[in-house]
Amino acid sequence: MAGATERSYGGVPLTRRREERRARLLAAGLELFTSTGYQQTKITELCAAAGMSNRGFYQEFETKEALLLELYAKTNQLAHDRVSQTLTTLETADPAARIDVLIDVYLTAVTADPRLARLNYVEAVGVSPAVEALHVEWVERWSDLIEHEADRAADAGLAPRRDFRLTAIMIVGAITGLLREWQTHAARYPAPDIAAEAKALIHASITRRA
Amino acid sequence: MAGATERSYGGVPLTRRREERRARLLAAGLELFTSTGYQQTKITELCAAAGMSNRGFYQEFETKEALLLELYAKTNQLAHDRVSQTLTTLETADPAARIDVLIDVYLTAVTADPRLARLNYVEAVGVSPAVEALHVEWVERWSDLIEHEADRAADAGLAPRRDFRLTAIMIVGAITGLLREWQTHAARYPAPDIAAEAKALIHASITRRA
DNA sequence: GGAGAGTGGTAACGAGGATTACCCGAATAT
DNA sequence: ATATTCGGGTAATCCTCGTTACCACTCTCC
C-alpha cells in the first residue's frame, strides 16, 4: 500500500518507462503516419514499430487521433518556442531583419525533417474536427505573431499602417501551402530557396501600398 | 440482341438515368464530404442523400475514393477551363492585367461555393496516394500556367528573366493555403479582399529582384 | 398478353481492426 | 523464500461498414 513510492522494474521507475514508451510511440507515429499515411496506419503496426505490444499503446494514448494531436502540437510548439525566443533576442533589430529571422528559424525547424512537414501539412489535414480545431488554434497563434511584426514594420515606417489581420492569415496559409508542396519535391528544391521565396512573399505582402 | 439501340425505362434512356444518378451522387458527395467529412461519410449515407439505394452507388463508382477524385478533378477542370479560356481572349493585354484576371477568374470559380474550397483544400488532402497524385498533377498544370505568365511578364520587361518554376509552385501552394484558411473564415473575409491579397502576392513574387 | 431481359432495393455476409479480458512473469516486502 | 501486487503480451471479442447475392418489379418485343 505504499502508493506514494514508485515501484521500479528493471531498475527503471514507472514514470521514466512511461516517458520512454510515449517517446517511442511518438517516433513510430511520425514515421508511419508520414510513410504509410495516417488513416492507413493500424494501431498494431504502430506498436510493432514502437517495439511494444498492442496494450502499451492504450496505456499512453486514448486513440490514434490523440497521438496525432500530440505530434502536431509538439512540432508547432517547438517551432514557436524557437521563433519567439529568437525574436526576443532581437528586440532592437530592425523589423525587416526580424521578419527574415522569423522565416529562417521557422523554416529550419519544419524542414529539418521532411516528415514533420508532411505530418503537419498533409497527414493532419481534414482528419477530424478536433485536429482542425487545433490547426485553427495554431493559425491564430502564428497570425498574431506575424501581425505583431507587421505592426512593428508599420511603426518603423516600412509599411503602411493598416489592419494586417487578413494579410497575416494569408501569410500563414501561404507558408503552409508552400511547405505542403515542398515536401513532395523536397529532393528537388533546397530549403534555402524556399526561404528566399517565403521572405520575398512576406515582405511584399506587408509593405504593399494597395 | 438489339445491343445498339438503347432501352428506355420510364421514358428515360439508360445513359440519361446514369448521368442523373452520377450527378446526384456527386452533389451528395460534395455536400457530405464537406459537412460530415470525407472519412466519416459512409456509402450508405451518400446513397440516402442522393435518393437511391446502396447499389446505385456501385453502379456508378468503384469506390468512395473514385467519387472524391471525380469531384476534385471536376472542380479543377472547370476552373482551369474558365481561366485558360479567358486568357485566350486577352491575348493582347499586358501581362499584369492578365495575371489579375487569372486570379479573379480562378478565385471566383472556387469561392463561389465555399464547399468547393473545403473539398479541394481540406477534405481531399492526404486521403490516399491516388488523390495525392491527382493533386500533384494539378499543381503541375497550374504551375505551368503561372510560369508561362511569368515568362510573358519577363519578356515585357516587367520582371527579371529567370527560372520561375519554384516561384510558380510556391504561388500555387500559397493560393491553396490561403483558400484553405479562408474556407474556415469565409463569413468574415469577403472574396474580393482575398483576391487583393492574392494579386499582391503573385505580382510581388514574380517581379522581385532578389 | 406473356416471355425475357434489365433495373434497383433489401438484407445478409464477411473482413478488418479497435478494444479489452485474461494470464503469465517480474519485482518488492515480510 | 514466498506471498502479493504490478506490468505487459496474447488472443478473443465485438462492431462497424463495404460489398454483393438474391429477389421483386418494370418495361419491351414478339
DSSP string of B132-161?
HHHHHHHHHHHHHHHHHHHHHHHHTTSS--
- What letter would DSSP give residue A6? P
Assess whether pLDDT exceeds 90 at residue B140. yes
3-state SS of chain B: helix, strand, coil percent to 5? 75, 0, 25
Note the CA–C1' distance, B3 to C17, in angstroms: 45
Q: Across chain B, what does the average pLDDT equal? A: 93
Assess whether pLDDT exceeds 50 at residue A116. yes
Looking at chain B, which residue has its C-alpha nearest residue A209? B200
HSE-CB for B148 with a 13 A CA cutoff: 12
pLDDT at A4: 36
Cα angle for residues B177, B179, B182 (degrees, 5° grid): 115
CB pairs under 8 A between A and B: 134
CA gap B170, B99 in Å, rounded: 15
Q: Mind telling me how many Å the CA of B139 is from chain A's nearest CA?
A: 8
Q: Across chain A, what does the average pLDDT equal? A: 93
pTM: 0.93
Task: Find the CB nearest A184 among B39, B136, B180.
Answer: B136
pLDDT at B3: 33
Average pLDDT over residues A104-122: 97
Q: Mind telling me how many Å the CA of A10 is from chain B's nearest CA?
A: 41
Which phi and psi (to 5°) does residue A100 adopt?
Answer: -60, -40
Note the CA–C1' distance, A58 to D16, in angstroms: 20
Residue B9 bridge partners (DSSP): B12
Q: What is the DSSP string of B36-102?
A: IITTT--HHHHHHHHTS-HHHHHHH-SSHHHHHHHHHHHHHHHHHHHHHHHHHHTTTS-HHHHHHHH
Task: Give residue-wise pLDDT tens across range B4-50.
Answer: 345 666 666 778 888 899 999 999 999 999 999 999 999 999 999 99
pLDDT tier for residue A117 given thresholds of 50, 70 and 90: very high
Assess whether pLDDT exceeds 70 at residue A189. yes
Task: Give residue-wise pLDDT tens across range B124-139.
Answer: 999 999 999 999 999 9
Q: Mind telling me how many Å the CA of A201 is from chain B's nearest CA?
A: 6
Assess whether pLDDT exceeds 60 at residue A181. yes
Assess whether pLDDT exceeds 50 at residue B92. yes
pLDDT tier for residue A7 given thresholds of 50, 70 and 90: low
pLDDT at B88: 97
Q: Is B208 in contact with A200 (Cβ distance < 8 A)?
A: yes
pLDDT at B9: 65
Which phi and psi (to 5°) does residue B9 adopt?
Answer: -120, 130
Task: Give residue-wise pLDDT tens across range A20-75.
Answer: 999 999 999 999 999 999 999 999 999 999 999 999 999 999 999 999 999 999 99
Q: Mind telling me how many Å the CA of A181 is from chain B's nearest CA?
A: 6
3-state SS of chain A: helix, strand, coil percent to 5? 70, 0, 25
Q: Mind telling me how many Å the CA of A6 is from chain B's nearest CA?
A: 43
Task: Give residue-wise pLDDT tens across range B167-191.
Answer: 999 999 999 999 999 999 989 999 9
B43: the nucleotide nearest its CA (via C1') is D18
CA gap A23, A70 in Å, rounded: 11
pLDDT at B166: 95
Task: Please state, in angstroms and as integers, the Cα–Cα distance from residue B73 to each residue in B36, B67, B69, following that order.
Answer: 21, 10, 6
pLDDT at B159: 97
Q: Is B181 in contact with A170 (Cβ distance < 8 A)?
A: yes
Assess whether pLDDT exceeds 90 at residue A10. no
Assess whether pLDDT exceeds 50 at residue B1. no
Task: Find the CB nearest B37 among A126, A194, A197.
Answer: A126
Average pLDDT over residues A84-112: 96
pLDDT at A3: 34
pLDDT at A2: 33
Taking each helix axis from N to C terminus, what angle separates B64-89 and B95-111, rounded to the nearest 10 degrees? 150
Average pLDDT over residues A108-131: 97
Task: Find the CB nearest A38 among B126, B132, B167.
Answer: B126
Average pLDDT over residues B74-83: 98
Confirm if B164 and B69 have CB atoms less than 8 A apart: no
pLDDT at A6: 57
From B23, B186, B164, select the one nearest B107 (Cα to Cα).
B186
Kindly state the cell numbers that stand for B127.
486521403
Spell out the residues 6+ positions from residue A93 whose beta carbon is closer than 8 angstroms to its own.
A101
Suggest the residue from A127, A165, A166 to mutate for an interface test with chain B (most B CBs closer than 10 A): A166
HSE-CB for B77 with a 13 A CA cutoff: 7
Average pLDDT over residues B90-115: 96
The radius of gyration of chain A's CA atoms, rounded to the nearest angstrom, is: 20
Q: Is A170 in contact with B185 (Cβ distance < 8 A)?
A: no
Which residues of chain A are within 8 Å of residue B194 when distances are taken between CB atoms?
166, 170
Suggest the residue from B34, B180, B182 to mutate for an interface test with chain A (most A CBs closer than 10 A): B180
Average pLDDT over residues A164-175: 96
Confirm if B108 and B191 have CB atoms less than 8 A apart: yes
pLDDT at B5: 47
pLDDT at A13: 74
Cα dihedral A78/A81/A84/A89 (nearest 10):
-110
Q: Find the length of chain B.
A: 210
A53: the nucleotide nearest its CA (via C1') is D9
Cα-Cα end-to-end distance for chain B: 71
Residues in A whose CB is inside 8 Å of some CB of B read 37-39, 122-129, 132, 136, 139, 166-167, 169-170, 172-182, 184-185, 189, 193-194, 196-201, 203-205, 208, 210
Strand (E) or helix (H) holding B12? strand B12-13
Note the CA–C1' distance, B18 to C2, in angstroms: 29
Q: What is the DSSP string of A91-144?
A: TTS-HHHHHHHHHHHHHHHHHSSHHHHHIIIIITSSS-HHHHHHHHHHHHHHHH
Name the residue closest to the C1' of D28 by its CA.
B7
Note the CA–C1' distance, B48 to C19, in angstroms: 30
